[in-house]
Structure 1
């Protein structure tokens, strides 16, 4: 059998991409190296991840949000509360550990954001997220092979042949979603460039003989940084150039030595229950496509986990790539559509890598970094400062350069609530383009009918239309065109041609 798409990697990015491709009716095989997707590192406390606005909106628009927010069965033991939960103000996020607070954010700076089931941020456990995505993928008909890590592959002008788990598989396309040490990226010869690590980070679950010797919360010292959440969760940053990461076993003695040096205490550990290391190495593929091979998620870009941007960045790749690759395979794509995946997502990846590097600069154990930290603390505690950091951390400011003069073009569409109770998010579940016509303009309906197999047309007023007369979005919910008074249908036709090709057009060359 020749699959439409082979996906290397069965983590959240690979699974979400598989769902997007199946939504378009493609045959998809996911090849995952691990036989068992479960891991203690995917559960509390280390498995907790923050989802940003674009990710939450993507899950909402595909009908996944309710599953992710459904009440979970009680655990045998409740996780320890994060140190910020003991504060009187509600944190909205942080930059290098410096928090900004909800009550300080001026949301009037975002005039096109409307109340929606999809908020600006939420927490999710990695294991729960993967479970929901895997269940959705399998229900949609995605084939998942666990214990089948990609070993090597060959590509021709027509297809890709992959060897994994001692077997051979063929697909029209191969997407590497196989993590920071991606076999697909390495075997595909992708150039991977960036900056080397400055530190080794530690996340550990420990038991202590004298827990009172560590103060809860995040602390910068003359030798590094540590965060302590009672009764026994520790995160540390040791500026050793990343020398310890994956070079030696993580022992109790070593963790205690590093903790004592960084915390400047003589704290004694009595047990090391779980530990992992990480670094701030920040690298990015110079291109996300070579022939019939594509990269997404950590296979395309790696950076430190500071600020929790990595998962969101990868899921954004999947949402952007899925419909474009599907249109290409189905022969419906206009020329160059697949190239926009890299041209849109590569700059976003580069921004996130620099955001991560900036946080590292603020964390260095130096007087200049502490002085800079004091300035950032003052700025982040202002209304404008809190709004700026919220925009970046929550992803509210994300915008693709699609041209067009309206400020909504290139941004995520507002979740308009129609007078009949339907919402824009619900109208995007089929993964099609959407022409939302608030004034029921007859030429718009005729225009949309030309792309009836790819575009949903809805004529209905909204309870709050924010001054718009009509709105046209891509399948990923990104606004391709927005009109206010007396819009010209030909403008919409040009936008439809740009993203969906001409009706009856011959398949584009890939």
Structure 2
């Protein structure tokens, strides 16, 4: 019997598998598709953007250099680590196809950003992400089974049995990372609620006569939206038909041509289609991410339109949050309530992303009100405050979990502290353990930290910029669990450590 059975071998399932494998758990991943590589995962259709939080997750687990290489980018990572402030972000994405100017981001409003070897975001592709994660998972002892379709799931008091054909896989826990049409979600009976679709979206590659007459980039029109990628890329469209066409009929060149002409107003001809798919903006979320010994992550727990590219990043955040908590539960070092914090912390984040997606669709609707909204939003985006707000929302840096503390740093992603000897916080987090950073001159917390030395790294010494903090306790997922502004109080630290890391060693 395994500690954890993960259903779904996409980026979310594989990232979770790496987290569990890093913590010494026995893990099997069951993936329906037999072949790990496909045209849908490679460029151009597999193009994906990782936000700042996701890039930092790969960096803090020591996988960013490999991901950059696999993505065709530069092989080295780095920043001006001697700078006192992190540089401006290189891009701010878009909102409903309205592009934003990164030069308008107000750095003074981002006081917790420090220079980091991780960049603010990067373009990659699903094939690169999955290849890097699968290689690391195998190195960590994860068993990946491909061509395995799950058909049954039976929870017990002490285990979960997952069935695929005639084969059964038993685990102490099961996690569904199997996408928007999750078999685990359905078999386990999770409630899935949300809003109906407003549109059918299309994505295709092929030969299009007159393609050069289509305006490049995002184009919101009176009848929908289309996106023209650079030469050799793909075309995307959104047709506000209440999702009627999605997966209902074949995606022929004739139908795609009709939709493209209608939403673009350009007399193009779709000569042939190589690959094509459809999607909707249906926005749904499970009411909980855990039912007894069954959990969900990624699209299995929440689905929404791909506008803004938040889906993959949201799923990686789920896996990062869940992995260390589930591992601590498996190893019986976790406090009783630790696993319940997964839903408590991640469900609101998912709900905000769904609303972000809905808001974009509302702005793009082909009616007499949308143009007025678009004009208003463009005016707002000409300001630094609005641009900074959008960057924080889409970068993942604005997420703050409610951990019951009023301290300004608690619940946020930890700044990338750098010690005078060159050690970065990310170096310490590569073990997948917590980290206590003690900036106090007398190292006040040394004795108090020894009881958790098997779960918490202890680091001391002057930092290039400690932002005025005396000590910071960072969870394995990079979130600040506790912080002290001045001379740290050992009793206060002890309380926080017990809450997140269980009882100290005897």
Question: Does the alignment reach a TM-score above 0.5?
Answer: yes
- Unpaired runs of 5+ in structure 2? 74-88
Q: Relative to structure 2, which stretch is displaced further, 96-105 or 188-197?
A: 96-105
Q: Which residue of 1 aligns with 2:458?
A: 457
> How many Å separate the matches in 1 of 2:204 and 2:487?
60
Alignment of 1:79-158 (within 5 A): 91-158=91-158
Separation (CA, whole Å) in 2 of partners of 1:446 and 1:212: 68
2:378 corresponds in structure 1 to 377
Q: Which runs of 5+ in 1 are unaligned?
A: 75-88, 506-510
Change (3 A) 1:211 1:405: closer
- Partner secondary structure for residue 190 of structure 1: coil
User: What is the deviation of 1:90?
Assistant: 6.3
In 2, the alpha carbon distance for the partners of 1:347 and 1:370 equals 30
Alpha-carbon deviation of 1:470? 1.1
Matched, 1:27 2:10: no
Moved more, 218-227 or 135-144: 218-227
Relative to structure 1, is the Cα distance of residues 72 and 299 closer, same or farther in structure 2, using a 3 angstrom cutoff?
A: closer
Asked if 1:257 is matched to 2:241, the reply is no
Match of 1:56 in 2: 55
Structure 2 Cα separation of the partners of residues 128 and 318 of structure 1: 18
- Please tell me the root mean square deviation across aligned C-alpha atoms, in Å: 1.5
C-alpha separation in 2, matches of 1:3 and 1:335? 21
- 1:205 equivalenced with 2:205 (yes/no): yes
- Residues 1:476 and 1:72: Cα distance change in structure 2 (over 3 Å): closer
Deviation at 1:443, TM superposition (A): 3.9
Q: Counterpart in 2 of 1:342?
A: 343
Are the equivalent residues in 2 in contact too, given 1:419–1:463 (CA < 8 A)? yes
Partners of 2:496 and 2:472 in 1: CA distance: 11
Equivalent residue of 1:194, what SS? strand
* Pairwise CA distance, 1:71: 6.2
- Alpha carbons 1:12, 1:130 under 8 Å: kept: yes
Q: Which stretch of structure 1 is more off in the superposition, 202-211 or 312-321? A: 202-211
1:486 lines up with 2:487 in the alignment: yes
After TM superposition, give the deviation of residue 230 of structure 1 in Å.
4.4
Q: Is the 8 A contact 1:437 1:457 kept in 2?
A: yes
Q: Is the 8 A contact 1:5 1:175 kept in 2?
A: yes
Q: Which residue of 2 aligns with 1:84?
A: none
Equivalent in the alignment of 1:439:
440
TM-score by length of 2: 0.94
Distance 1:177 1:138 in 2: 18
Query: Relative to 1, partners in 2 of residues 1:432 and 1:230: Cα closer, same or farther, differing over 3 Å?
Result: closer
Greater Cα shift, 344-353 or 65-74: 65-74
Is residue 97–residue 220 contact of structure 2 (8 Å, CA) maintained in 1? no
1:390-447 CA distance string (max 9 Å, x none): 1111112111011222211000111011011100011011111111111253441111
State the alpha-carbon separation in 2 of the partners of residues 98 and 465 from structure 1.
Answer: 37
Is the alpha carbon distance of 1:249 and 1:426 closer, same or farther for their aligned partners in structure 2, counting shifts above 3 Å? Answer: same
Q: Deviations over 1:38-58 (max 9, x none)?
A: 121211122111111221111
